[in-house]
Structure 1
Amino acid sequence: MFTSISNFYSSLFRRRSNGLNFNRRRRKINFDKVQYVLIFALEIAVVIAVAFGVVLAFGKQVECSNASMEPTYETSDILLVNTIAYKFSEPKTGEVIAFKPKSNVNASYSVKRVIAVPGDTIYINNGRIYINDEIYKENLEVERIENPGIAASPITLLEDQYFVLGDNRNSSEDSRYESVGFVSNEDILGRVWMTYPFK
């Protein structure tokens, strides 16, 4: 009996001693887990920053108000416009832009394709477009132009003058006509990126 009591107190003392053992090793920090959490947080921050940039760049929506850009864009198509594209570069031949005709702030945005840029000489003869005395090579099938408008004679574009046409060449009010004329940088909203919802 005394032996069992002695054993009981001995075991109790050992438990308490173990509980007060100050020489136990401290837990090591798992640097792999910390690194994983930091990388994950950084990725989330980058995704948020990119999303914010996309909204800034492509957040402007413009409606294609007529058939002048068919078949590329149809009437009532909603187009996403990159509004910062031309903050760092100039419009290039072949790009589709959204702009205010004649700087008319009350007009709706017009959507047309850039055909000639500053310094180019453009004219239309026998339904064909000539840029710097060479036939303009289209990247899409278009009709021969019936009415050359002001481009019936050669026109050399000055600095900050862009000549634009609709892809539906014979049903488009564009740079051939006085109502639109040449487009300047300050009139341009940006480069048309795609339709929305995506087609």
Structure 2
Amino acid sequence: MITSISSFFSSLFRRRNSGLNFNRRRRKINFDKVRYVLIFAAEIAAVVLLAFGVVLAFGKQVECSNASMEPTYETSDILLVNTIAYKFAEPKTGDVIAFKPKSNVNASYSVKRVIGIPGDTIYISNGRIYLNDELYKENLEVERIDNPGIAASPITLLDDQYFVLGDNRNSSEDSRYESVGFVSGEDILGKVWLDFPFK
């Protein structure tokens, strides 16, 4: 009886020990493969972030909603706007900008050309623009202005005031009119740099 009990416990002990093999080889981690996977994942993340940043900075789309910028841009043209251009510099005379008229957040973006910048004196006489008492030289062919609006008399722009006009001067609602007026820097989305699809 005692012998059978001792043999039972012996067999039980052997069975338990058989599952514990301290000499079993541990699986090695392949650090080269782990490093390769981590580098690959980091590269993918960097490319995604870069693409997102480029689209955010240069790919903001604005529709030219009317004929005020013809022939430069036509109605329904989709324009790409550089939204970081004026984070490091100020708008210059001749730039085409997208902005919210009168800080109206519910309005669609308007697209116009900057003619006068802060400190400039501007007026329109005999259909032509005078900037700081000199005839403004256009880089494109435009018609004479029929209605000078508020620019019939000289206007000196204050800090953070920009005077904008549409290239289609006689079919444009712009800084000559109270509905648009002067544009402030905080209302400017950015600089129009391309129309899409490309022409």
TM-score (norm 2): 0.75
Equivalent position of 2:85 in the other structure? 85
User: Cα deviations across residues 5-56 of structure 1 (Å, max 9, x unaligned)?
Assistant: xxxxxxxxxxxxxxxxxxxxxxxxxxxxxxxxxxxx9998886665343212
User: Cα deviations across residues 100-156 of structure 1 (Å, max 9, x unaligned)?
Assistant: 000001111000000000000000000010000000000000000000000000000
Equivalent position of 1:134 in the other structure? 134
d(CA) in 1 for partners of 2:136 and 2:43?
46
Question: Which secondary structure does the structure 2 equivalent of 1:141 belong to?
Answer: coil
d(CA) in 2 for partners of 1:180 and 1:172?
10
d(CA) in 1 for partners of 2:102 and 2:72?
24
Tell me the CA shift for residue 197 of structure 1.
1.6
Equivalent position of 1:122 in the other structure? 122
* Pairing 1:53-132 to 2, within 5 Å after superposition: 53-132=53-132
d(CA) in 1 for partners of 2:47 and 2:121?
45
d(CA) in 2 for partners of 1:53 and 1:198?
22
User: Cα deviations across residues 36-91 of structure 1 (Å, max 9, x unaligned)?
Assistant: xxxxx999888666534321211210000000000000000000011111111100
d(CA) in 1 for partners of 2:174 and 2:144?
15
Equivalent position of 2:151 in the other structure? 151
d(CA) in 2 for partners of 1:110 and 1:162?
14
CA RMSD, 1 decimal? 1.9
d(CA) in 1 for partners of 2:70 and 2:99?
18
The question of 1:51 aligning with 2:56 is answered no
Equivalent position of 1:15 in the other structure? none
Question: Which secondary structure does the structure 2 equivalent of 1:73 belong to?
Answer: coil
Query: Structure 1 stretches of 5 or more lacking a match?
Result: 1-40
Q: For residue 85 of structure 2, what is the amino acid of its counterpart?
A: A
Equivalent position of 2:197 in the other structure? 197
d(CA) in 2 for partners of 1:129 and 1:118?
16
Give every structure 1 segment of 4 or more consecutive aligned residues whose post-TM-superposition deviation is greater than 3 Å: 41-53
Q: For residue 90 of structure 2, what is the amino acid of its counterpart?
A: E
Equivalent position of 1:5 in the other structure? none
More divergent stretch after superposition (53-62 vs 115-124): 53-62
Question: Which secondary structure does the structure 2 equivalent of 1:53 belong to?
Answer: helix
Equivalent position of 2:162 in the other structure? 162
Question: Which secondary structure does the structure 1 equivalent of 2:51 belong to?
Answer: helix
